[in-house]
Amino acid sequence: MQPPRGTRDFGPDEMAARRALEERLRSVFRAYNYREVQTPTFEDLELFLAKSGPGIREEIYDFKDKSDRELALRPELTAPVMRYYFSTLKMQPKPIRLFYFGPCFRYDRPQAGRYREFWQMGCELIGDDTPEAHAELVRLALDLFEAAGLEDYHLRLGHLSILRALLEDLGFPVAEQAPLMRLIDKKELDGLRKALSVKAQGAKLDAFMRVFDYTRLEELHDVARTGRAKEAYDHLARVFGNLAAFGVDASKVRVDPTIARGLEYYAGLVFELDAPFLGAEKQLLGGGAYDLSGVFQQPPVACVGFALGFDRTLVALEKKGVKAGGEDVVDAYVAALDADARPALLRAVHELRRLGHRIELESGAVALKKALQRATTVRARLAVFAGAKETQRGVVTVKNLANGDQSELATTGLVPGLDAAIRAAARSGPR
């Protein structure tokens, strides 16, 4: 029996690595005072149709329950989190900082780093659309990958108002821009040029196409001189200024005026983070400013956030040889070599677990050779055992399985002695 196509089983070692990375990323969000929320795995189908349009139905898992309600497994987490905000948090003082982590589902063709069940981690900053707040959010995104141990990445920043203003200058009002935005997003330049040539030709069209080569803020100055485009340029300039003050490595961040979002609720700053060595599936994070108030028929509220592909980040770390951490190590394997030794060991095991140590206890009397084999199999730092001779002398034997050192501890005060021995073994390195 195999798991369904596009899903996976995770073994103990994989889960240890995933949980270790998950906790490191969580600690970054907490450092920025983002608070964790969790929403249901399935929602009313209408939520996703209202946010993304009827076409999304072909990309998601939707179904009717036994009461004939139309539901869908969530394909992403922004819409559910904003539903929660509008239903529960909208009267709270702003800004509100929320983060989340959980599985999502899309009916995609499975490929490297892309699954039908995947895990997404992200955040939403609600009620603050200043360049300073946006810069801090970008710094947060970069800190996540620094915490993960990934150094080979590039972040691209753009502003949709500049891109939309350029398209308007070519004769395409916002109402006609959605198909153009899709071509821009996919970097289908031949198709884009053909679509634009309906209203723009010659030097004007060539000037627009050159924006695909822009990587520096200064290059946008001459094409964003008036109106909304000028305001967007100034916003970007302040974001870059704040990123410099945050100590961001300028070589890892560049302008990309061609980051596009086809849906109209996106407005303003947009950004994407790539790991170029992953090839076509290089994007690890995407974000930007948006307003979903129309979906919920609520007053407008400024929002900006991002989503990180957790699975693809793990793939990137693996390709770079970066261990996610969380080695599945047992602190101590404890075995009685005869029945008389067991009572003292049971009391010690209970207390050590209460202190937070991970202990495997052998269920019955066992031969020494078998005990040591088992301790090695479970990757224990220490093997702790006692037989008739140790019991008569009031001691237990402790063997460090990393270096082979062996010593005895008195059963009187056994727990403090084993606690210290475990901590010393952990400091000396993983098993």
- In a domain, residue 315? The reply is yes
Task: Show which of 291, 319, 347 is a domain's final residue.
Answer: 319
List strands edge to edge, sheet with 62-64: 42-44, 70-73, 62-64
Q: Are residues 369 and 296 in the same domain?
A: no
Q: Are residues 340 and 193 in the same domain?
A: no
Taking the C-alpha atoms of residue 95 and residue 204, their distance in angstroms, rounded to an integer, is 42
**Ordered alpha helix ranges (H), 246-362:** 310-319, 342-354
Q: Which amino acid is at 109?
A: R
Q: How many CA atoms lie within 13 A of 299 on its CB side?
A: 3
Q: Are residues 224 and 162 in the same domain?
A: yes
Range of the domain at 107: 12-319
Q: Are residues 217 and 349 in the same domain?
A: no
Q: Which amino acid is at 209?
A: M
Taking the C-alpha atoms of residue 141 and residue 239, their distance in angstroms, rounded to an integer, is 14
Taking the C-alpha atoms of residue 279 and residue 63, their distance in angstroms, rounded to an integer, is 35
Taking the C-alpha atoms of residue 139 and residue 118, their distance in angstroms, rounded to an integer, is 25
Q: Are residues 308 and 351 in the same domain?
A: no
Q: Are residues 399 and 295 in the same domain?
A: no
Q: Are residues 360 and 262 in the same domain?
A: no
Q: Are residues 307 and 376 in the same domain?
A: no
Q: How many helices (H) and strands (E) does the chain have?
A: 14, 16
For the entire predicted model, the pTM comes to: 0.88
Evaluate whether 405 touches 397 at the Cβ level (below 8 Å).
Answer: no
**Domains held by the chain: number:** 2
- In a domain, residue 431? The reply is no
Question: Which tokens belong to 360?
Answer: 């495997």
Report the pLDDT value the prediction gives residue 66, as an integer from 0 to 100: 96
Q: Are residues 260 and 204 in the same domain?
A: yes
Q: Are residues 341 and 295 in the same domain?
A: no
- In a domain, residue 427? The reply is no
Q: Are residues 375 and 308 in the same domain?
A: no
For tokens 């700053």, what's the residue?
269
Provide the CATH number for the domain around residue 372: 3.40.50.800
Evaluate whether 399 touches 405 at the Cβ level (below 8 Å).
Answer: yes
- In a domain, residue 279? The reply is yes
Q: Please give the chain's pLDDT, 431 residues, in tens.
A: 899 999 999 998 899 999 999 999 999 999 999 999 999 999 999 999 999 989 899 999 999 999 999 999 999 999 999 999 999 999 999 999 999 999 999 998 877 667 899 999 999 999 999 999 999 999 999 999 999 999 999 999 999 999 999 999 999 998 899 899 999 988 899 999 999 999 988 888 998 999 999 999 999 988 888 888 999 999 999 999 999 999 999 999 999 999 998 677 888 999 999 999 998 889 999 999 999 999 999 999 999 999 999 999 999 999 999 887 767 789 999 999 999 999 999 999 999 999 999 999 999 899 999 999 999 999 999 999 999 999 999 999 999 999 999 999 999 999 999 999 999 998 876 55
Q: Are residues 34 and 152 in the same domain?
A: yes
Provide the CATH number for the domain around residue 90: 3.30.930.10
Q: Which amino acid is at 155?
A: L
Q: How many CB atoms lie within 10 A of CB 353?
A: 13
